[in-house]
Structure 1
Amino acid sequence: FVERPPNVDLVVRACQNRRIAAAQDEPGLLFDLIDAQPEQGRVTVTIPAAPGRKARAATLAIRFALVILRRPCNGADPALPETVSVTLVDVREVSQPEDGSEPVHWRLLTTHGVATLTDARRIVDLYRTRWIIEEFFRTLKSAGFDIEAADLGDPHAMINFVAAATIAAVTIKQLVQARDGNTDQLLSDAFDPDDQPIIEAISAKLEGKTERQRNPYPIGTLAFAAWVIARLGGWTGYYGKPGPKVMRIGLAEFNAIKVGTTLKLLDV
């Protein structure tokens, strides 16, 4: 917190019950202090689905307070100041989830100013974007392009590979988010204009006779394209939802088809 650049703010989930500077009648530990604060309000958010967990609406009780963290006793640079002031935003789900999963409880330390419930909600929303960030890096790594295993000795080649993989990973992430038709994005948000007639032709070719084998989304939407790419990636339309691995395979298949449409095989 002390050494952050002046143009950077932080939101960090606290996992340790840190020592704090407190008045004589106040607790001297971070969690004890926030536990003693009254609720400043409640907000309702959607907790997205995850393996073994269904999506659900969660009502969260919000507490926040300015806290003064003490420098750790062991291992800290003695040149650092004795204390640093940050805000702690405490977020707790008020009821037990019906699926038996653990209720949400986040303790978020931030350098952002928090004076109102609206400010606190903004911190919660900022923290929740970590899911998108984690899924993006998962696509770059184990669920997609496995960049950590790339055997490239030339640093410039590695930079070019990671840049290309990053662009593809963003497209894959957009397709995963659009697969249920909830993002209102257009096909042009992730594809070139020339890609649309190819995607429409593939959709018509892939559609089957049953309702679940037909593309349910409007032509020109990213959800329409996501259905096509998922089918190309091996998704049948019947079981589960297509994830980044399926979208990666499907996007590679689509790009191969796209290249094929440009070939003129006059002399084979």
Structure 2
Amino acid sequence: MLDNKIKLFDHLSSQPLQGRYAIELEGDKRRKIQKRTATIEVRFSEITIGKHQYSGKHLPDKINLYAIEAKEVGENIENPILWRLLTTKKVEDLQTALLCIEWYTYRWTIEEVFRILKKEGFNIEASELSQGKAVRKLCLLMLETIIKLFIMQIAYASEEESQPRSCFSEEEIECLELQIKQLEGKTEKLKNPYKSSDLKRYIWAIARLGGWKGYLSERKPGITTFWIGLQKFNSVMQGWILFRDVSRR
């Protein structure tokens, strides 16, 4: 049991090494972080934490948890990874510890979802709906668009081709082709480099509508850029359908 004399982080760091694993980390030119392969050491321990003296009387005197430490090792590493996790899930082997660490890495995806749901996107907090059930239904409708944004983000980062129909309808693809002609610059560096069989061709157009400059040497567009671009494209799409239908009469 940990008491006031034993610090949790010190206790965790003193545990025997349970294993290592490697992960690929993306670089960030703006923060001057280079792409690298990180070696992570994993330690874990079952712990019992006592109740603080100022905690409420309704709380138990102690609680049993499992603590996990994931620490990047190596020389001359700027801002190395150091994650310390507490969980009620029983952690008695490396496989379970790695599973908990993997779950933790999803926090960035979850934060992206909430960022789009809130002020940087749909601004759901400004909704005038008063009942929780109605808000949940609205969130589900919004999640359909958010899933589309994640599909674009993952597909654009991948070296493999993806089918355009996995994200856009035939009508949308036709409209995007017209947009690409307007969005391409005069130089080769500002031309859309992707084939019509690759989803990245149309994601490129969405990113350009979202304010991305289009240079391949530039940092890849993020989910907020895709959100802005998709909203603009939806407006363009509505106007294009209206014009097409009127011209066919």
TM class by shorter-chain length? Answer: 0.7 to 0.9
Amino acid at match of 2:52: P
Amino acid at match of 1:36: S
Listed as ranges, the gaps of 5+ residues in structure 1 are 1-18, 22-26
Change (3 A) 1:104 1:88: same
Listed as ranges, the gaps of 5+ residues in structure 2 are none
Amino acid at match of 1:152: E
Deviation at 1:158, TM superposition (A): 5.7
Structure 2 residue aligned with 1:126: 103
The yes-or-no answer on 1:87 pairing with 2:66 is yes
Distance 1:145 1:49 in 2: 29
Amino acid at match of 2:229: G
In the TM superposition, what whole-angstrom CA distance separates every residue of 1:3-53 from its partner, at most 9, and x where no partner exists?
A: xxxxxxxxxxxxxxxx727xxxxx844223212212111111133456625
The yes-or-no answer on 1:170 pairing with 2:152 is no
Instruction: Determine what percentage of the aligned residue pairs are the same residue.
Output: 32
Which of 118, 128, 131 is the aligned partner of 1:152? 128
The yes-or-no answer on 1:242 pairing with 2:221 is yes
Q: Name the Cα RMSD after superposition.
A: 3.2
Structure 2 residue aligned with 1:189: 166
Q: Tell whether the 8 Å contact from 1:136 to 1:169 is kept in structure 2 after alignment.
A: yes
Q: Tell whether the 8 Å contact from 1:60 to 1:94 is kept in structure 2 after alignment.
A: yes
In the TM superposition, what whole-angstrom CA distance separates every residue of 1:137-185 from its partner, at most 9, and x where no partner exists?
A: 122224323333x263665876665444433233223323333335765
Distance 1:62 1:246 in 2: 36
Q: Tell whether the 8 Å contact from 1:231 to 1:250 is kept in structure 2 after alignment.
A: yes
The yes-or-no answer on 1:57 pairing with 2:37 is yes
State the TM-score, normalizing by the size of structure 2: 0.79
Distance 2:142 2:241 in 1: 23
Q: Tell whether the 8 Å contact from 1:185 to 1:222 is kept in structure 2 after alignment.
A: yes
The yes-or-no answer on 1:117 pairing with 2:97 is no
SS in 1 for 2:232: helix
Which of 52, 58, 66 is the aligned partner of 1:72? 52
Q: Tell whether the 8 Å contact from 1:229 to 1:251 is kept in structure 2 after alignment.
A: yes
- The structure with more helix, counted as a fraction of residues: 2
